[in-house]
A and B are shown apart, each in its own frame.
Chain A
Amino acid sequence: MKPASFDYLRPATVADALAALAAGGEDARVIAGGQSLMPMLNMRLVQPRLLIDLGRLEELRMLRAEDGWLTVGAAVTQAEVLARPTLAQEVPLLAAALPWVGHFQTRNRGTLCGSVAHADPSAETPLCLIATGGEVVLRNLRRRRTVAAADFFLGPLTTVKAVDEIVECVRFPLARPGSGHAFREQSMRHGDFAITACAATVDGQSASLAVGGVADRPALRSWPLVAGGLPPDLDEALNAFAWDLGGDDDQHATARYRRDLVRRIGRTVLEEALSCRR
């Protein structure tokens, strides 16, 4: 269980990294924290010819809240974001979900951007990005473009990111006053992949629920509030959402169980989000 051979580049600038990536094409991969890529390398599921290390690029270490967004650069670890004292006010959903990402030891190196680029259907960071209406900033040698999270994920491990692009940063909108947020997930063990993860946001007008672990990508659905409360036909709405998500059987859980959790945990987090609006 050792990686296949590759060249290794630790570029001095992002521009150098992008140039190498453009030249390397399909055979080049970028690595930052490596907490998703390294197991794939060790198992030889991925065999790049060139590995480009973004981990030490100061340009990618931005972590700031301004103009209504929390911006997290590609070299910023999950632990660094979690340790941000103002996170719970800025992006409360992220503050609630990040402790569920892997473990203390993997959060110390794993990055938010890496998790988003990896696009695991049950990962918490993509779920939060979808749930909050965040965006992904992609950059190649020639240009930078911003993609809404809702448009970014195409399927498992599949995104709109082109071969020559990196995820330069991800941006979460800062929580609006009067909104409430709640996150819950069910997994086999602490720190495992979510069987079902639910993230709810309720503001003055609507309630929305994002679900990970069921469909082949995180998915969001919103409903208008009725008389300031959750819609009276919420059970039917959640049932419809659950069926649309579908889900698959695996050795640990059935598709039906996943849908059941959407109906049940989905309601719970929506109620929690409604009650904790501030």
Chain B
Amino acid sequence: MTATQTATRTIELEGDPAQSAAAPFVGRAMPRVEDAALLTGVARYADDLPVKPGTLHAAILRSPHAHADLLGIDTAAALTVPGVAAVVTGADAKRLASAFLVGIRAPMEHWCLAIDRVRHVGEPVAVVLADSRYQAEDALDRIEVRYRPLPPVTSITQALEEGSEPLHPAVGSNLVNSRSFRYGNPEAAFARAARTVSVEVEYPRNSCTPMECFVVLADYDAAEDSYEVLSNFSGPFAVHPVMARALNVPGSRLRLKTPPHSGGSFGNKQAVFPYVVLMGLCARVAGRPVKWVEDRLEHLMAATSATARRMRIDAAVEPDGRVLALRMEQTEDCGAYLRAPEPASLYRNHGNLTGAYDIPDLAVTNRIVVTNKTPTGLNRGFGGGQLYYGLERLMNRVAAELGLDPLDIIRRNLVAAEAMPYRTASGGTLDSGDYRATLEQAVREGALDALKARRDALRAEGRLYGIGYAAVVEPSISNMGYITTVLTAEERRKAGPKNGAQATASVAVDPTGGVSVTVASAPQGQGHRTVLAQVVADVFGLRFEDIRVNTDLDTGKDAWSIASGNYSSRFAGAVAGAAQVAATRLRGRMAALVAGQLNCRADDVRFAAGKVFSDANPDNSLSFSRVAAAGHWAPGMLPDGQEAALRETAFWTPEPLKAPTDADHINSSACYGFIFDFCGVEIDRTTGALRIDRYVTMHDAGRLLNPLLVEGQILGGFAHAVGTALYEEYAYGDDGRFLSGTFADYLVPTACEVPVPVILHRESPSPVTPLGAKGVGEGNCMSTPVCLANAVADALSGIAVDEVPSLPITPAKLAALIHPPEPPRPASTAGSGENPPPITTPAGRGLTGEGSREVPATPEQVWAILLDPMELAALLPGCEALELVGPNAYRAEVVVGIGPVRGRYTAEVALSDLDPPNALTLTGSGTSALGSGSGTGHVTLERTPTGTRVTYRYGASVGGKVAAVGGRMLDSASRLLIGQFFEKLVARAGGAAAPAERPSLLARLLRLLGVAR
């Protein structure tokens, strides 16, 4: 076991490797070889690489609607914009590309451009290709798209409703997949258990949002019918065949390269793949190379998201807190399309559904729904945050209901060390670790007793302080077959087996003795080059700086497999292991080469300190470079049958990764680390603000290859988890509008919000991986949100039993629990202040409202106003022109704006359901460069003794850019604009004058404008 480290104690750095050349590099805190380029600005990210002359720059027109039929696209005006070379639409995609493969058997088509329907805000609809990005964006505003909005599906609940509008009509339902699993005898366990404890939780949409957005450079070679693309794609390369199929070429004709540096991924850059296809298509249509750089608005709105999940878990519990069985229902929101590799989020943890606990009986129902939201994909913690949010809230609930200490519930149920390797109910193999001892070490070294004393002291002062716990297993190195658990055994038999997790690494020694390592791990900033140099230097007995590592990938030349890439924490276990295997094999070949010269058997040749010698006679040594030169210049020295080239490529796959069994048992990952966290939080009684007072995170990730980098991974994962727990959410309105479109709306924690956790380690080497290492980067995204939530539940224990607001846990949500009911509005002040009275907020969050007004005119007179185009023009806010285009159908030019911001909308307005003079329906919709707006108003006219009672109900929807970047203001702004229409109607019909217009609340939606005051 290595020394305990905390993030605050400086790790002993290995500044001068030469000083301790004898000690292995693996296990040492080596600073990174990557850093010099990154710190001096010479690093080359995708957007820094040169482009070919004549390259066109792409800008993407995106749907402002959550759900709409796509009726037509007119690109004529856009093509006249200076600098524009081409506009690509879904028609081009249909002609030259194919729909993406889908991971389940259901008739759902997902194309790189919308074909006849848009299914989420931000879905690509057309691409402008121009000489510069600026010019391409100029032309976006000139493309005219006709949509017919459809009812949006914006929640899991709604997706499960019978009548919800199916996103994919051929599927017929928004519940696109459902599978039930039964392991052991859960029914019997529930029958015999003393009680059943349940939780129901929802996990929100969010993502780890790397600082660098997507980049694609694409070129098409018509002579060879082949595509060459450079992109900051992160893998998994299982998606490469998906891309190639969508481009209608074999994989050999889609040469995909990755740049030398990438600005982070955390899984997210997997989701660039539809754009690889889209830009390949664009290059083909335009006949010129194409470059696309995603901007932040595009990224937040439409790149990717973690899945939202609803989870209900029942536990069969004994009086002492022992859990005998679990019954789980998971419903996963995958967004508008099941984009590869989904539904992986739901199945990634299938082998470890029971977490770190010895729970033999398990029943699971997994449902997948589609909603009108951005498709989901890889995101740090992939499925683990969702699973453990339910599981660890459940364990906390067991303690609360039994009146026991939550820590004792965890202790009582942990898998015992003697049981390792432990086979879980659902087929996972927990490979190593002593979970109980690890927990006790954390309790001791993390000073839990002192934390409890602090809680008691602060509570005595009346403060809201709580302690939370979480224990999880962190899976790493995904089994490429786990996703097929979504299929039935019969379907799997038809599809052919899927299993394993092949990692590749090539090691080459050049004639000067230089050593090159090439891997297909597509690093995104973790420091793979450093670790690989450590591993290979040890194998050859060379200096750290003698090893040169290349991590940029070219699928046309390099060794890769479908499992390649940067995901499922597979680097330390699989890729570094493969490099060691390759280097060791190559060393064996070099040993054979020189054994004769050294007068020993190849097995006795040693490599150390840059020398090659016989174990028996170290003084008679050759330099490593001399041996390398001989391998190149004198291959004839090799014994018969030995290959000459000093290059070795290893493919390594973990032995325990089999395909799912017919009983649906699946070992979904090769390794399982263990994490035990506890924390103390305080909630401010005045503001509801939560402060993380202390956080202790204990990791057993097997053998640590570089403690400095391991600590960096834990700190980074922890920061993401703090964001998930307290700040970040991709929020949508009930009408599907997207609300988190800027970094002022999507709240990434800053240095002021992320505390430094205490990090503790224990090392139980994995028996599965060559180096004994397991993954470590994702664990806190699994453990920390729920640990904080459990601490909140503890802090609020004087107010409610085990109650936690939904994630993210914001001050406003906490205040709603802490604060007493709001004092009523004093009657005397209404409208008397210097400020106007507040607008009454209608119930719910949708853009809906209603009103009623008595006017001194007959229903016939009111009816006449509504049917008169001149009058209608006067009623519509900002209407500059109104043109009759059909029976009771108009086209209106409307300018809606405030201050410097103006949006010119060409609106379609129609009157329908005419029942003169009693009722009608007024609909309007329009799109501008700022986004879309639509509304439906039902008006009824009721004769009264003195005139007419005009009653109206309306529903409205605002989408696109203006909603995404100013979402907070939309409710009131839309209410006001629509309210204005009806107030004017009433006024026109001779009713009380419409109240003086306040400065338009539309302006409020522009509050974003001060994002960087």
Q: What mask results when residues 240 to 275 of chain A are scored 1 for a CB within 8 Å of chain B, else 0?
A: 110111111111111111011101110010000000
**Contacting B829 at CB < 8 Å: which of A36, A110, A244?**
A244
Alpha-carbon gap, A259 to B815, bound state (A)? 11
Q: Which residue of A lies closest to B822 (CB)?
A: A256
- The answer to whether A118 has its CB under 8 Å from any CB of chain B is yes
- The answer to whether B999 has its CB under 8 Å from any CB of chain A is yes
Collect the chain A residues with CB atoms within 8 Å of residue B744's CB: 192-193
Collect the chain A residues with CB atoms within 8 Å of residue B298's CB: 1
Task: Report the minimal beta-carbon distance from B894 to chain A, rounded to whole angstroms.
Answer: 17
Collect the chain A residues with CB atoms within 8 Å of residue B839's CB: 246, 248
Q: Are A4 and B138 in contact (CB under 8 A)?
A: yes
Kindly list 10 other residue pairs between chains A and B, CB separation below 8 angstroms, not including A154-B999, A157-B1009, A245-B838.
A39-B1012, A40-B901, A44-B929, A45-B961, A45-B1009, A106-B1013, A115-B1013, A156-B969, A188-B727, A246-B839
Q: Are B740 and A251 in contact (CB under 8 A)?
A: yes
Q: Are B689 and A257 in contact (CB under 8 A)?
A: no
- The answer to whether A79 has its CB under 8 Å from any CB of chain B is no
- The answer to whether B833 has its CB under 8 Å from any CB of chain A is yes
Collect the chain B residues with CB atoms within 8 Å of residue A37's CB: 1009
Q: Are B838 and A246 in contact (CB under 8 A)?
A: yes
Q: Are B1013 and A260 in contact (CB under 8 A)?
A: no
Interface residues of B in 797-833 (CB under 8 A from A): 810-812, 815-816, 819, 822-823, 825-826, 828-830, 833
Q: Which residue of A lies closest to B834 (CB)?
A: A219
**Contacting B1012 at CB < 8 Å: which of A44, A102, A268?**
A102
Q: Are A43 and B965 in contact (CB under 8 A)?
A: yes
Q: What mask results when residues 4 to 42 of chain A are scored 1 for a CB within 8 Å of chain B, else 0?
A: 110000000000000000000000010000011111100
**Given the known A-B contacts A2-B133, A186-B687, A189-B747, are A120 and B752 also in contact in the complex, defined by CB atoms under 8 Å?**
no
Alpha-carbon gap, A186 to B690, bound state (A)? 12
Q: Are B1009 and A251 in contact (CB under 8 A)?
A: no
Alpha-carbon gap, A265 to B686, bound state (A)? 8
Q: Are A249 and B810 in contact (CB under 8 A)?
A: no
Q: Are A155 and B998 in contact (CB under 8 A)?
A: yes
Q: Are A189 and B812 in contact (CB under 8 A)?
A: no
**Contacting B838 at CB < 8 Å: which of A118, A189, A239, A243?**
A243
Q: Are B747 and A192 in contact (CB under 8 A)?
A: yes
Q: Are B1010 and A264 in contact (CB under 8 A)?
A: no
Interface residues of B in 740-779 (CB under 8 A from A): 740, 742, 744-745, 747, 749-750, 752-753
Q: Which residue of B lies closest to A125 (CB)?
A: B1013
> Which of B337-345, B482-490, B937-945, B1000-1008 lines the interface with chain A?
B1000-1008
Q: Which residue of B lies closest to A120 (CB)?
A: B1010
Task: Report the minimal beta-carbon distance from A236 to chain B, rounded to whole angstroms.
Answer: 7
**Given the known A-B contacts A1-B296, A43-B965, A115-B1013, are A245 and B812 also in contact in the complex, defined by CB atoms under 8 Å?**
no
Task: Report the minimal beta-carbon distance from A32 to chain B, rounded to whole angstroms.
Answer: 12
Collect the chain B residues with CB atoms within 8 Å of residue A70's CB: none
- The answer to whether A216 has its CB under 8 Å from any CB of chain B is yes
Q: Are B826 and A251 in contact (CB under 8 A)?
A: no
- The answer to whether A63 has its CB under 8 Å from any CB of chain B is no
Collect the chain B residues with CB atoms within 8 Å of residue A154's CB: 999
Alpha-carbon gap, A103 to B838, bound state (A)? 32
Alpha-carbon gap, A268 to B684, bound state (A)? 14
- The answer to whether A121 has its CB under 8 Å from any CB of chain B is yes
- The answer to whether B161 has its CB under 8 Å from any CB of chain A is no
**Contacting B816 at CB < 8 Å: which of A35, A156, A250, A256?**
A256
Q: Are A43 and B297 in contact (CB under 8 A)?
A: yes
Alpha-carbon gap, A264 to B1009, bound state (A)? 29
- The answer to whether B8 has its CB under 8 Å from any CB of chain A is no
Alpha-carbon gap, A213 to B778, bound state (A)? 37
Q: Which residue of A lies closest to B821 (CB)?
A: A256
**Given the known A-B contacts A118-B1013, A156-B1003, A248-B971, are A188 and B810 also in contact in the complex, defined by CB atoms under 8 Å?**
yes
Q: Are A29 and B900 in contact (CB under 8 A)?
A: yes
Q: Which residue of B lies closest to A236 (CB)?
A: B826
Collect the chain A residues with CB atoms within 8 Å of residue B834's CB: 219, 221
Q: Which residue of A lies closest to B748 (CB)?
A: A189
- The answer to whether B363 has its CB under 8 Å from any CB of chain A is no
Collect the chain B residues with CB atoms within 8 Å of residue A44's CB: 137, 141, 929
Alpha-carbon gap, A195 to B819, bound state (A)? 17
Task: Report the minimal beta-carbon distance from A106 to chain B, rounded to whole angstroms.
Answer: 5
Collect the chain A residues with CB atoms within 8 Å of residue B138's CB: 4-5
Task: Report the minimal beta-carbon distance from A186 to chain B, rounded to whole angstroms.
Answer: 5
Q: What mask results when residues 137 to 167 of chain A are scored 1 for a CB within 8 Å of chain B, else 0?
A: 0000000000000000011111000000000
Alpha-carbon gap, A219 to B838, bound state (A)? 13
- The answer to whether B729 has its CB under 8 Å from any CB of chain A is yes
- The answer to whether A176 has its CB under 8 Å from any CB of chain B is no
- The answer to whether A207 has its CB under 8 Å from any CB of chain B is no
Q: Are B822 and A260 in contact (CB under 8 A)?
A: yes
A residues lining the B interface (CB < 8 Å): 1-5, 29, 35-40, 43-46, 48, 101-103, 106, 110, 115, 118, 120-123, 154-158, 186, 188-193, 195, 215-216, 219, 221, 236, 239-241, 243-257, 259-261, 263-265, 268
Q: Which residue of A lies closest to B900 (CB)?
A: A46
Q: Are B899 and A158 in contact (CB under 8 A)?
A: yes
Q: Are A251 and B901 in contact (CB under 8 A)?
A: no
Collect the chain A residues with CB atoms within 8 Å of residue B1001's CB: 155-156, 216
Q: Are A156 and B1013 in contact (CB under 8 A)?
A: no
Task: Report the minimal beta-carbon distance from B980 to chain A, rounded to whole angstroms.
Answer: 15
Secondary structure at chain B's binding surface: helix, strand, loop or mixed?
Answer: loop
- The answer to whether B967 has its CB under 8 Å from any CB of chain A is yes
Collect the chain B residues with CB atoms within 8 Å of residue A253's CB: 810-812
Collect the chain A residues with CB atoms within 8 Å of residue B1012's CB: 35-36, 38-39, 102-103, 106, 110
Alpha-carbon gap, A240 to B727, bound state (A)? 31
Collect the chain A residues with CB atoms within 8 Å of residue B687's CB: 186, 261, 264-265
Q: Are A158 and B1003 in contact (CB under 8 A)?
A: yes
**Contacting A36 at CB < 8 Å: which of B137, B686, B961, B1013?**
B1013
Task: Report the minimal beta-carbon distance from B733 to chain A, rounded to whole angstroms.
Answer: 9
Collect the chain A residues with CB atoms within 8 Å of residue B391's CB: none
Q: Are B1004 and A193 in contact (CB under 8 A)?
A: no
Q: Are A247 and B838 in contact (CB under 8 A)?
A: yes
Show 22 residue pairs from A and B whose CB-CB distance is below 8 angstroms, ordered by the A residue: A3-B134, A44-B929, A45-B1006, A115-B1010, A118-B1013, A155-B998, A155-B1003, A156-B1007, A157-B1003, A157-B1006, A158-B999, A189-B749, A216-B1001, A239-B823, A243-B829, A244-B833, A244-B835, A246-B839, A250-B968, A251-B731, A254-B812, A264-B687
Pick the most buried of B688, B825, B998, B1011: most chain A CB atoms within 10 A of its CB. Answer: B1011
Q: Are B811 and A257 in contact (CB under 8 A)?
A: yes
Q: Which residue of A lies closest to B930 (CB)?
A: A45
Alpha-carbon gap, A43 to B931, bound state (A)? 12
Q: Are B1009 and A252 in contact (CB under 8 A)?
A: no
Alpha-carbon gap, A39 to B810, bound state (A)? 27
Q: Which residue of A lies closest to B753 (CB)?
A: A189
Alpha-carbon gap, A155 to B972, bound state (A)? 13
Alpha-carbon gap, A205 to B845, bound state (A)? 44
Task: Report the minimal beta-carbon distance from A256 to chain B, rounded to whole angstroms.
Answer: 6
Alpha-carbon gap, A236 to B829, bound state (A)? 11
Alpha-carbon gap, A186 to B839, bound state (A)? 23
Collect the chain B residues with CB atoms within 8 Å of residue A243's CB: 825-826, 829-830, 838
Alpha-carbon gap, A120 to B899, bound state (A)? 12
Collect the chain B residues with CB atoms within 8 Å of residue A156's CB: 898, 969, 999, 1001, 1003-1004, 1006-1007
Task: Report the minimal beta-carbon distance from B1011 to chain A, rounded to whole angstroms.
Answer: 5
**Given the known A-B contacts A45-B965, A123-B1010, are A216 and B826 also in contact in the complex, defined by CB atoms under 8 Å?**
no
- The answer to whether B595 has its CB under 8 Å from any CB of chain A is no
Alpha-carbon gap, A52 to B1001, bound state (A)? 27
Q: Are B1007 and A248 in contact (CB under 8 A)?
A: no
Collect the chain B residues with CB atoms within 8 Å of residue A264's CB: 686-687
Q: Which residue of A lies closest to B723 (CB)?
A: A189
Alpha-carbon gap, A249 to B967, bound state (A)? 11
- The answer to whether B841 has its CB under 8 Å from any CB of chain A is yes
**Given the known A-B contacts A118-B1010, A186-B811, are A245 and B835 also in contact in the complex, defined by CB atoms under 8 Å?**
yes
Task: Report the minimal beta-carbon distance from B168 to chain A, rounded to whole angstroms.
Answer: 28
Task: Report the minimal beta-carbon distance from A104 to chain B, rounded to whole angstroms.
Answer: 12
Q: Are A257 and B1009 in contact (CB under 8 A)?
A: no
